[in-house]
Structure 1
Amino acid sequence: MMVCVADIPRRSSSRTAKLASIPLGIAGRAAVGFGRRLAGGDRDEIDAEMTAKAAEQLFTVLGELKGGAMKLGQALSVMEAAVPEEFAEPYREALTKLQAEAPPLPAKAVHHMLDQQLGTKWRERFASFDDVPTASASIGQVHRAVWSDGREVAVKVQYPGADEALRADLKTLSRFASLFSTVMPGTDVRAILDELSARTEEELDYRTEADNQRAFSKVFENDPQFKVPRVVASAPKVTVTEWLSATPLSSIITGGTREQRNRAGALLAEFHFSSPARVGLLHSDPHPGNFMLLEDGRLGVIDFGATAAMPDGFPPVLGRMVRLALDERFDELTQLLYDSKFVLPGRTVTDQEIADYLRPFTDPIRTESFHFTRSWLQQAAGVATDFSGPQFRTARTLNLPPEYLSIFRVLLGSVGICAQLDAYAPYMRILTEWLPGFVDE
């Protein structure tokens, strides 16, 4: 059932209480499950039931609150394919909803925001405006309209109170970060929250997003592979861009043809690897709601609020690391990890430990075209996050320098979407062409 809200719930106490209910609920269910297991209940069945309920509660609360809460949910959503298959269905359903749905802002509140941002005569700039939103995002919602010159446009309107809610949510969620591992094992929620917090201010000003989108649309104008809509108008809390008619990746994931899934996966990978070199920016919000496939086969890209500046492209040390891992020159790779601060101060790691840890992740570049599947991602993620396994102990010695956090999150998110698509993608060719240091010695 859709619930109308006048704006994002602003009271810090009520938002904190809702967010606190997530880890408390998880802890309560864990205690009940432990008791049932002691009483002789089937462990797997009980664990599956608890996980399903935890997933439902987590994403229901995150979706209701919008703001930073919903943004965390969307950041987690791209790794849905890594969730073990026995738990996957409740995640898949909850996450798919979260990527595209949220309670809408009433028309009166939308009109008030447009009055503030585009002036009280904003209606004269549109030939028509649909009061019913077509999509919801973490801090705003999108309306379909027709600009005065006849162009179909998308109008993104920020929720009133989004700025206060976003800052408060991220602060509150950080306190509970470690408990979310119960629901999304192997996901470093704290690192995601730290990065989201760092980008909060730039995302709240839609003028920054508009500037980012202008840069992308200029570079990809008339591109045979990618389509980025032009910006028509922008203000701090409203943007107007050309409308893009295409099939969302979420629909292709659930019902696309083999050809569509392969094309979408390959183009998504190429977009993320090529953008830093071509635009000097990295689109940093990889979830299926931001990508779509046009009838002519191009990949459409929207939502440039989260974008990382990379004027010199990807750092060459990243490509060098991937090349050394592929060539299994683990002695050189281990030294490079130390030199580049990828090993925590005071910790030690051996060549063999690095080899065992990284080998599953180099699968996509061992063949000309790699088949990304949920089972492959589950296996790779499972080995790295098995608390009792040696790879997990290796992971505890490693560090991700802040300048690499956005890159790794985006590329892992891109891989997660490819696995959801069940796509074949030519990663070797893409890395050879676009990743500095991968070919150059």
Structure 2
Amino acid sequence: MPRSAAARTARLASLPLSIAGRTALGLGKRLGGKSAEAVAADLQRRTADQLFRVLGELKGGAMKFGQALSVFEAALPEHLAAPYRATLTKLQDSAPPMPAEQVHRVLERELGTNWRRRLRGFCDEPAAAASIGQVHRARWPDGREVAVKVQYPGAADALRADLNQLARVSRLFASLLPGLEVKPLIEELKARIGEELDYRLEAEAQAGFAAAFDGDPEIAVPRVRLYTRHVLVTDWLEGRPLSEIIAHGTQEERDRAGLLFVRFLFAGPARAGLLHADPHPGNFRMTPDGRLGVLDFGLVARLPGGLPPQIGRLLRIGLDGDFDTVVEGLRAEGFIKPGVEIDPQELHDYLRPFTEPAQAETFHFTRDWMRTQFQRITDIRDQSARTALRLNLPPSYLLIHRVWSGGIGVLSQLGTNAPFRAELERWLPGFADELDSDLPEDEPA
């Protein structure tokens, strides 16, 4: 990798010292007459700027963490989000490149000395870079343009070193996103290192999605052509990055992108038995023919039976206002541990970010709405935050929760006005069943 593990660790380790220095400087400014609020805002802004600049210059776990965090950008206060939004979204599809000679060595080791016969016109300049590998353009023997993803040498060590260091400085993020539990997110990333490093698993998942959505008029998944543990070759997917639509798209483009984004996330488990579990904008494109193109299948949840029907049933029951039943249902699923008591009305208030979008035929996701919901459920002075502390997240729901909450974050960045409820009725098991069960017996469902 372009930077040694020691250099990356030094960059991350420097963050607490830099922030401590700014804190001391801030104290001096307060003594000099500036208000505490002005000093705090300035400190927060400078901390955010350095933090995301460092993450943006790194690969490995630092960039992987930054990408995971980027879906919550819409929850940040606007006075913080605006100055470094471009820096944060840059994490979604860019990083310093790996030298060409190093790329060639990996390809020769993985594909043999004649690798250029299969990857014709291979372009040494990377077209994109991610946390553990970078993508190059080439042509398949039949002339089709392909994307060649090459894993960085030493990616495993870099991931572990960066994530361990991030865990040690995780308290720094509290000043940016108060109430966000960063350590569980880092632990989840660490637990899944093995899956993401093996491109054979990614190829298997991508092939499953590609087969399920083959010929689909709305979703495009590139076909897998060749793979080894450290190299993955797929059809090239042309398109406009979702991050660009977030920044510059028209409302019509935002609505279309958001609708297809929701449709893909919910349709995946039903059609492919797989859930794409890395929903940050860098993994999605709008193709020239108006489809949603999907990339990077390194993190998926394998759900051969589709999404658990309990989610849809409890959501529907909650929309009907019966939160006593919802409490008992969540207890049965392990979200509420034995002996823990939760008031049904307080649970109703806490679950508002998940239930509100399903109440009306259409729902307008906005940064202001996302920010309000996030602040409400993370402010310990609010009852919703105290309710959150009494809830438990079962391991089997970990990735589902990540996709649901991250997906809401992306929709809020897009500002999508989407018929969210119709997608739930179409794709979420249990939700439409409960809807049908409300009808009189003599009325057809």
Contact 2:58-2:96 within 8 A present in 1 as well = no
- Superposed CA deviations along residues 78-128 of structure 1, whole A, max 9, x for unmatched, are 110111111111341221121122111111111111111111111111220
Question: Any conservation in 2 of the 1:9–1:65 contact (CA below 8 Å)?
Answer: no
Q: Distance in 2 between matches of 1:40 and 1:56?
A: 24
* Rounded Cα–Cα distance in structure 2 between residues aligned with 1:32 and 1:328: 52
In structure 2, the residue matched to 1:434 is 427
- Residue in structure 2 matched with residue 3 of structure 1 by the alignment: none
What TM-score, normalized by structure 2, do the two folds share? 0.93
Q: Which runs of 5+ in 1 are unaligned?
A: 1-5
- 8 Å CA contact 1:23–1:180 kept in 2: the answer is no
1:382 is matched with: 375
Partner of 1:259: 252
Contact kept, 8 Å, 1:7 with 1:160, in 2: the verdict is: no
Deviations along 1:196-245, one digit per CA (max 9) or x if unpaired, are 12211011011111111111111111001100010111111111111111
Question: CA 1:344–1:46 in 2, change beyond 3 Å: closer, same or farther?
Answer: farther
1:122 aligns with 2:111: no
Q: Name the CA shift for 1:389/1:39 in 2 (closer, same or farther; >3 Å).
A: farther
- Unmatched runs of 5 consecutive residues or more in structure 2: 435-445
Superposition TM-score, scaled by structure 1 size: 0.94
The Cα of 1:158 is off from its aligned counterpart by 0.7
Range 234-243 or range 383-392, more displaced: 383-392
- Report Cα offsets for 1:364-395 as digits up to 9, x if no partner: 11111111110110111111111222221111
- Alignment CA distance shift 1:24-1:276 (3 Å): farther
> Is residue 357–residue 421 contact of structure 2 (8 Å, CA) maintained in 1?
yes
Equivalent runs, 1:24-35 vs 2, <5 Å: 24-34=17-27
* Offset at residue 287 of structure 1 (A): 1.0
The equivalent of 1:7 in structure 2 is 2
Secondary structure of 1:138's match? Answer: coil
Q: How far off is 1:307 after superposition?
A: 1.1
1:100-157 CA distance string (max 9 Å, x none): 2211111111111111111111111122011111111000111111122211111111
Counterparts of 1:24 and 1:389 in 2: how far apart (Å)?
A: 32
Deviations 1:306-339 (A, max 9, x none): 1111111111121122112212211111222222
Residue identity matched to 1:197: K
2:365 aligned to which of 372, 376, 393:
372
Structure-2 residue corresponding to 1:110: 103
- The structure-2 alpha-carbon separation of the partners of 1:387 and 1:25, relative to structure 1 and needing over 3 Å to count, comes to farther
Mapped partners of 2:83, 2:92: distance in 1:
14
Per the TM alignment, residue 187 of structure 1 is displaced from its structure 2 partner at its CA by: 2.4
Gap change, CA 1:23 and 1:134, over 3 Å in 2 = same
One-letter code aligned to 2:321: E
Q: Which residue is 2:290 aligned to?
A: 297
Q: Is the 8 A contact 1:26 1:182 kept in 2?
A: no
Q: Find 2:317's aligned residue among 319, 324, 338.
A: 324
Contact between 2:259 and 2:418, CA under 8 Å: does it hold in 1?
Answer: yes
For residue 101 of structure 1, what is the amino acid of its counterpart?
S
Question: 2:330 matched to which residue of 1?
Answer: 337
Moved more, 170-179 or 215-224: 170-179
Paired amino acid for 2:301:
A
Aligned positions of 1:197-236 closer than 5 A: 197-236=190-229
1:34 is displaced (CA, Å) by 4.8
**Cα-Cα RMSD:** 1.8
Q: 2:307 corresponds to which residue? A: 314
Task: Give the match for residue 269 of structure 1.
Answer: 262
Q: Is the 8 A contact 1:8 1:162 kept in 2?
A: no
The yes-or-no answer on 1:287 pairing with 2:273 is: no
Letter in 1 for 2:258: G
**Partner Cα distance (1:171, 1:61) in 2:** 16
Q: 1:86 aligns with which of 58, 79, 83?
A: 79
1:187 lines up with 2:165 in the alignment? no
- Structure 1 window deviating more from structure 2 (131-140 vs 56-65): it is 56-65
- Name the structure 2 match of 1:48: 41
* Distance (whole Å) between structure 1 residues aligned to residue 318 and residue 31 of structure 2: 45
Letter in 2 for 1:387: I
Summarize the Cα distance change of 1:323–1:91 in structure 2 as closer, same or farther, 3 Å threshold.
farther
Amino acid at match of 2:173: F
Q: Is it true that 1:97 corresponds to 2:90 in the alignment?
A: yes
Measure, in 1, the Cα distance between the counterparts of 2:34 and 2:323. Answer: 46
Answer yes or no: is the 8 Å Cα contact 2:56–2:88 preserved in 1: no
Aligned counterparts of 1:339 and 1:124: Cα–Cα separation in 2: 57
In 2, distance between residues paired with 1:176 and 1:336?
A: 37
Structure 1 residue aligned with 2:345, among 323, 343, 352? 352
- State the shift of 1:344 in Å: 4.6
Contact 2:269 2:306 in 1 (8 A): yes
Amino acid at match of 2:278: D
**1:144 aligned residue (137, 149, 156):** 137
Q: Which amino acid aligns with 2:411?
A: C
Identity %, equivalent residues: 54
Tell me the secondary structure at the aligned position of residue 92 of structure 2.
Answer: helix
Give distance in 2, aligned partners of 1:31 and 1:182. Answer: 16
SS of residue matched to 1:269: helix
Separation of aligned partners in 2, 1:158 and 1:70: 14
* 1:29 to partner: Cα distance: 3.2
Q: Hey, what's the Cα distance between the residues in 1 that align with 2:351 and 2:104?
A: 52
Q: Count residues in correspondence.
A: 434
